[in-house]
Structures are given as C-alpha cells and as structure tokens.
Structure 1
C-alpha cells in the first residue's frame, strides 16, 4: 500500500504545545492529611510531657497540698515551680484552661506571638546544679508511603512508556481543552494516518498532529464485527509499529532536515467535536474523485468508546512537495534547493544513525519559506552562491518504514550491529507494498528496486525469494543504497515539472528566471540556471537505477562527495548540514 501525503514538521528548538507541557502534567503529590495530623499530635504530646527532674522537698509539699495547677511557662534553666525565698506570696489564681491542640495547617510554635517572661531573679548556684533539662527529641517529617504506579496495559505498554501520560486520556476531554487554545484543521492523510494542524489563537507557533487509530488487542474477544469494521481495523496501526516510529522521531530530531518531535499522546474513545468538524470541512473541499479514505469520525458506530489512538505531535514543517508540483511554480532554483537539502539530510542521517528512509516519495518531503514569505512565488537571492537560492526550508518526514540505530548505552563498545539497538519496520511482513502496478504509478517500481538493492546491491536484479534468503541480508541491517534509489525517484519527479532548456525559446528561458531580488543580475541569473540544470541532468544519469552499480555509488554520502569534487556544493553548504 503506497503511503502518501503523510505529514510532518520542521525541526526547531521550540517547546511542545500547551497540551504537552501544561494540561497533560499533574501537580506533585502531597503527603496525605492523616500523616500531617499524626505528626502534629506526636509533637504536641512531646511538648506536654517535657519535665524537669529534681529531688526537692518543696515539690513534694506542693503536690501534697493539692494546690490548683499553674500554667506551665516556657522551659528555662531555672526551676520556676519553686518560688525563691525573696519572692512575695501571691494569691492563687483561677485554674488555667488546657490549651487546645492547634490545627494541622497552623505552625506548632508561633514565634511571633507575645510571650510572658518572668522578671530576672538572683541565681541560686546550688539549685542550678541540681536541675537537669531533658533534651528535646528532634522533630522529623513523616515518612510518606511509597507510591505504586498502576500497571501498564500490556498491549499498549510499548506506547505508554513513550507517552506523556501512563494511561490513555479521553479523546473528547482532550479535544475540549485543546480547542480553547487552538483552531484545528485537517490538512492531509495517508494510508494509516490523518494529519491536523493546530494554529494558536494568539498567533504563536503552529503544531501538527498525526492521528493513528490503533488496532484492537487481538487477545480480547468481543462481539462479532461487521465486514466493514474488520476492514477498517485491518487498516489501523499496531502499538508496536507506532512506538518504533516515535523512537525514530526522537532519534532523528537533532539532525538538521528531520522532523522536530514534540510529544506522543495516547487517547481513548471517538474523536472530539473539533476534530469531527475539521474532518468534514476538509472532505467537503475535496473533489469527488479524491474524497477521504477514512470514515466520518462523527458518524455513529464508526469509533466506539474502546477505540485507542496514538497522536504524534510535531512542529509544522510546511507544505508537502507533492502538492506543490500541482501548482506549476517549480523552477530550476527550487528543484536544486529541494533536492540537495533532502540529499544532505539523508547523508547526515546515514553518518550519525545509519539511517534509511525506505519511503521517500514527494509526499514525505515538506517545504516552507525561511524568509517568512509565502510559497506562491519564492524570491531568488544570491545567485552567485551554490545553494539556498530560494530561501526554502526542507524537512524529511514520516519514518513509518524507516530504519535507524539508537544511541549506544554508556560503556558499550559499538563493535558490530549487535551492540546497537535498531528501530525499523520489517518489510517482509508487508509484501503487498511490492505488488503494485508500475504502469499505473512509477512509485510501485521503486519499492521493488529498493528490495533488490537491499538483497543484491543491484536495483534491477530479478528478485528470487530463495536467492534473497541465501544472501543473509534482512531489513534489520543497514543497506544505504536504498536511499540512492529513492533519491533517483525524487530527482526524476522534480525534473518532470519543467522541460530541458534546449526545448524552450528565449522568452520561455527568461520567464523561468523567476522572481529575482532587486540586486540580482538577470544575465548572471540565466547563466547560473543553465549551469544548475546541466548539473541536475548529470546527477539524473548517475542515479539512474541501471547505472547505479557502475557508478560505484553505495550511499548518499558518496553522492555528496562527488558534489564537492565537481564544485556543485561548497564546504560551507555541507558542514553542519
């Protein structure tokens, strides 16, 4: 099944949208009220039982006379229960009421309250020596009971361990909170997912949400399902597959030219109202022959309360290149900038993560203007350089079928593939992708060329299952020639949008110069365009699937090396790409 129009986002050092950082996080757990009350009671009892030890006759006489109890003053180094000989005799006062225990939210000792201090008296050295003050035990905070996290759903565990919350959130509740801060619009869909754009009401950074309905747990037996429901579930994703894509997003996000991952959300239930309205608006605007391949999410019975969703949040990367080819605005400047930015991103991925995309059609390449303008008529500036003429920013998206190696754990040697954990999709389980009709669409042939390149290092080699098994190669391994097969497809599709210079008259050539900046020389721009197209045609021949083995190209990094030798690119274009 061909995957198209699957959307992504542009890498940028920006925080996740409010749902990720504000609405989806809980407050820190507080100690239970009972623990605080117990601590208060224990401290109060300690204060009440503090006493002075001493063997004095006056103490025994006072207790024998059963005189009314006096209020206990603060502890001092003097026994105030024994009046000094010089102290005047005072009349007995009414018995003091016992102080009530303070509430749990009040401090145990109020240092700001006024206290009565007895007047200074001459010290009795003999008395002082006989008084022993019992030490006060230090007050310690109560030990909180250990919190036990609820067990994860085994079927959803691969996703929940990567998600913002450890359990699914109700889709309608999540939507209601989201809609108060963002407007929601559907912008694209693919074989397994739908893509929505979130635009903040305050005009801030946009986000993109990739919604994937998850296949039900096969171990749970429910009521009998209709054929339509079974067909719908067969087109859904598995939690393990979405977890692999999420890990790839996290791995590749730091590399320039790849999607900027923000968060993963796991939801349950039918989509909320704002998503239903967005789906219907998008579908209504589509031509009759190109309506949505997904059922109306607001229709009764399409999704029940048990339906689980994975929502991948990314930064908005702009518009997919496939939709731009339909606008007819492509020029040699745009083709050059888009192709080489894709090539440099993939080459960087090869070097840093042993990356293969394995599904790099034009729908998985997004562009937006880095100059803050629109994509309708990009302005060409700096025709004297080698790259970046149009100000377009390119992002490679959708890693559903991709392969990359995760960072090695601390202390790992890195010797051999066994030392690196690999995130990949096993295409041996997706045989249908290799059975499409190439006469209908050339992209179906590319999947077969990729398979032969993986097994035999020759895109045009006839595939034989037994011979393939004998090579010992698997989709788990790193076979970067597949990236070259896809770059062949990308360049071929881009060049198909405009004819060769030799087929155009002078007026057409001047028209293709495009919108130049004020300081750009038109004659120099035309000469530069002729040189750029000649280099593109030369690369097209090098990347032809019949020529690839002869050219000795094994990966995209080899192509970048040739571009540096031919001076198509400069070191400043490659370093830090």
Structure 2
C-alpha cells in the first residue's frame, strides 16, 4: 500500500480514458462554492461537519483507549486503534493553524488527493487498491488527550533515539487538529522483512502498477516515495482448527 503526497501535474496528451476531475466529486465544493467559502468553511465541508469537534467526539472512549502510537513525522503523530466497526485503522493527527504548522489551505490538498486516490479502488477504466484508503476526516480543537500523551511517552521511551517531535502537551486548549482515519496498511517497508525474492519482486511490481494507475487516472505523481511511505502486510488466510491457528498461503486467490 502506498501513502499519498499532494502532487499533480498537467494532463499528458493521448489518454484513452476519461480523466477523473479532482473538483466536482462528491463532497468537494464546486469552483463557485470555493470562491464563496472561507478556507475554514471548506475544510468543515470536506469533513462533513457543521462545527469543530472535540477529541472525545472524534475519537470516542473505546477507540481512544485502544490507541497505540505507531509512527510520527514532521506533520504530526500516527496511532493504531480499532474503530467502532471493529476494524483496525490508523489515525493521523496533524496540528494546523499554529506557528510552523500547516494552514487550512495547505492541509486541504492532502485531504482532497487522499480521497481521490482512495476512490481508485472503485474505478472502471483505471482501478487500483494500492493506495491507503481514507475512511473519514475530522477537524478537532482542544488539548492533547491524556491517553494519547501516555502512548506518546511510551513510544518516546521505547524508540531508539526517542521521538523527533515535541511532547504534545505543548499544545494549548485552543489548538486545532485535523484527524484522518485510514485503513491499517501494515508495516512500513523500512521495517518489513521479506521472506523470499519473490515477495520483494511482487511488492515492487504492485508499487509500479499503483503509481501508473494514479498517473493515468489523475495525472498524479508521488514525489516523496521513500520506504516509510510504502506499507506492506501479509494477506494469507488465517483459520482456527480446534483452537490452533492455521495459516493458508492464498497465492493471490480467495475462495
């Protein structure tokens, strides 16, 4: 699975398929709306919110309690948890509108492109499930939650060299965050251990095809494709027989 970056280029001539526009899709304001709405109002529209939420509204108790930090970057923090539907997901939490932080206008392209890349799994002429699926986006305001702070401290203690980011308790009660819920794409390529050359070849092939589909459909170019932005997970079928775990190699097939 590939995580997106917000880059596009001009349409290349001679495409045989109808191109998918980034503007005018479901949930994306028209050009006329964009000229009327403020950047904050546009973001709320993308989030399908009437108002800014609290952390507790965006990440309810059981989901919050299951959060474990799994990554970080200059953008913010990433936590793995189980959502209300029982699915394992990743929450990317990005502070915005503060000093040295992204603005409303700067975070919008990332959300738009993540949504459009997610839709490629349902395409007809160009289709791929190779990009991380974006489930939902929330605009949140408030102090950093205690449980997430405890998980941040655990990561900082256990990670060699600690965290590169400042401890999140520096954020005031008025701090704004964008919370993006993605599917759990597995382990990043830097820490994934391939068992065979065949596995590594398959991963590289999938990356190439995924990027080719995105270019054909959206004129999308990924300009930050380091191994931390490629996620890998094994999809062999797991069964339980008399309480014993049995893994079956699918070789790309599903019954």
What TM-score, normalized to structure 2? 0.71
The alpha-carbon deviation at position 166 of structure 1 amounts to 2.5
State the number of aligned residues: 206
Of 52, 55, 79 in structure 2, the residue corresponding to residue 168 of structure 1 is 52
- Runs of 5+ unmatched residues, structure 2: 5-35, 121-127, 239-246
C-alpha spacing 1:306/1:154, structure 2 compared with 1 (3 Å) = farther
Aligned to 1:319: 187
Contact 1:283–1:292 (8 Å) recurs in 2: yes
C-alpha spacing 1:353/1:270, structure 2 compared with 1 (3 Å) = same
Measure, in 1, the Cα distance between the counterparts of 2:191 and 2:163. 16
Counterparts of residues 125-136 of structure 1 (less than 5 Å):
none
The alpha-carbon deviation at position 318 of structure 1 amounts to 0.8
Larger relative contact order (Cα-Cα within 8 Å, sequence gap ≥ 6): 2
Measure, in 2, the Cα distance between the counterparts of 1:264 and 1:184. 17
Contact 1:7–1:320 (8 Å) recurs in 2: no
Contact 1:7–1:188 (8 Å) recurs in 2: no
Measure, in 1, the Cα distance between the counterparts of 2:212 and 2:73. 26
C-alpha spacing 1:172/1:323, structure 2 compared with 1 (3 Å) = same
Cα deviation code 1:241-279 (max 9, x no counterpart): 211111111111122211211111001111112211211
RMSD of aligned alpha carbons: 2.9
Measure, in 2, the Cα distance between the counterparts of 1:303 and 1:318. 29
Q: Which has the larger radius of gyration?
A: 1
Contact 1:160–1:266 (8 Å) recurs in 2: yes
Aligned to 1:188: 71
Partner SS state of residue 191, structure 2: helix
Runs of 4 or more above 4 Å deviation? 172-175, 378-382
Partner SS state of residue 259, structure 1: coil
C-alpha spacing 1:372/1:380, structure 2 compared with 1 (3 Å) = closer
Aligned to 1:368: 233
Aligned to 1:294: 165
Contact 2:236–2:248 (8 Å) recurs in 1: no
Aligned to 1:267: 140
Task: Pick the structure with more helix per residue.
Answer: 1
Task: Pick the structure with more strand per residue.
Answer: 2
Measure, in 2, the Cα distance between the counterparts of 1:182 and 1:208. 14
Aligned to 1:198: 81
Counterparts of residues 19-30 of structure 1 (less than 5 Å):
none
Contact 2:118–2:134 (8 Å) recurs in 1: yes
What TM-score, normalized to structure 1? 0.33
Measure, in 2, the Cα distance between the counterparts of 1:7 and 1:271. 25
Measure, in 1, the Cα distance between the counterparts of 2:186 and 2:167. 26
Measure, in 1, the Cα distance between the counterparts of 2:62 and 2:249. 39
Measure, in 1, the Cα distance between the counterparts of 2:207 and 2:105. 28
Contact 2:142–2:176 (8 Å) recurs in 1: yes
